[in-house]
């Protein structure tokens, strides 16, 4: 049993240990990896509790899409619209131009290649990529080199591939990848996009691209697809079907050997 003197000594040791630990923690040199503009965006992210619905690198809520790579797939016009008037379940936040710019800077700096992409990819964009990043790299490579198959509606000319590229761009700036997985149906029931062009008649596909399928869980595309956008996206979907085996193999190769450097993840950012 401790005597009063020993109890006082033990308490003094504990207090001293706490003081030393506090000093070490607050004297630790730490460089801020975000720019001043991005820090303003981070403050808005925290003030509006965005992590309640959205994720960064798997950390956060599940009501909205993962925003890890939002800067790569959402253009500035769409982002401003989301931050001011909202969309679907996304409430209108009424951000000013300066606030929108700060949030854009924050999202852009969180989407740096040295940190990762969506599925905690470490390394260069073409090596060790997660499935979605590898899928996009495979398509970029196929479009850059030309395709051995036609684009589904033409004869594989540069003009056809330009339309496919436009459709790919339309796909990337919308949150399609939040539900659709490369070369397989997703757990939420979203179909494999490389097969839809062959399973739907042309007019049915155009109707889906225009209005979605709300009763089956697919909302109308946001931002909406005009006639030219729908034609380009249809060409992209036909391109996926015509080159499915080649693209699937390239995606698997790019995703092979994926490794994680947990030390490179910005844990300081997760609330």
Average pLDDT, the chain: 79
Q: Residues 53-84: pLDDT tens digits?
A: 888 877 778 778 888 878 877 778 888 888 98
Q: DSSP letters of 89-101?
A: TB------HHHHH
Task: Determine which helix (DSSP H) or strand (DSSP E) holds 247, and give its type and residue range.
Answer: helix 244-255
Q: Residues 112-159: pLDDT tens digits?
A: 765 544 444 333 444 445 677 788 889 999 998 765 555 554 545 667
- pLDDT given at position 153: 47
CA–CA dist 100, 44 (Å, integer): 10
Q: Which residues on neighbouring strands pair with residue 55, listed in sequence order?
A: 60
CA–CA dist 83, 104 (Å, integer): 10
Give residues with Cβ within 8 angstroms of 56, minimum separation 6: 66, 67, 68, 110, 266, 269, 270
Q: Residues 160-191: pLDDT tens digits?
A: 899 999 999 988 877 787 778 889 887 768 88
CA–CA dist 265, 74 (Å, integer): 22
In order of their start, the domains of the chain are: 36-112 (1.10.760.10), 131-255 (1.10.760)
């Amino acid at each position: 049993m401790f005597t009063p003197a020993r109890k006082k000594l033990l308490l003094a040791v504990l207090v001293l240990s706490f003081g030393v630990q506090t000093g070490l923690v607050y004297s630790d040199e730490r460089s801020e990896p975000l720019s001043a503009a991005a820090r303003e965006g981070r403050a808005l992210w925290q003030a509006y509790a965005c992590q309640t619905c959205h994720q960064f690198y798997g950390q956060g809520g599940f009501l909205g899409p993962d925003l890890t790579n939002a800067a790569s797939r959402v253009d500035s016009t769409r982002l401003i619209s989301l931050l001011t008037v909202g969309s679907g379940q996304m409430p209108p936040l009424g951000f000013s131009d300066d606030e929108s710019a700060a949030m854009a800077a924050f999202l852009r700096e969180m989407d740096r290649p040295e940190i990762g992409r969506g599925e905690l990819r470490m390394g260069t964009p073409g090596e060790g990529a997660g499935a979605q990043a590898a899928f996009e790299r495979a398509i970029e490579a196929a479009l850059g080199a030309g395709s051995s198959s036609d684009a589904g509606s033409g004869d594989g000319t540069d003009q056809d591939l330009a339309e496919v590229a436009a459709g790919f761009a339309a796909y990337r700036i919308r949150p399609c990848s939040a539900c659709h997985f490369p070369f397989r149906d997703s757990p939420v029931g979203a179909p494999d996009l490389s097969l839809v062009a062959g399973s739907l008649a042309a007019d049915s596909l155009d109707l889906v691209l225009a209005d979605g399928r709300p009763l089956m869980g697919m909302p109308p595309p946001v931002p909406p697809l005009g006639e030219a956008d729908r034609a380009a996206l249809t060409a992209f979907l036909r391109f996926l079907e015509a080159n499915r085996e080649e693209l699937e193999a390239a995606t698997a190769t790019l995703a092979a050997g994926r490794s994680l450097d947990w030390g490179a993840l910005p844990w300081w950012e997760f609330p």
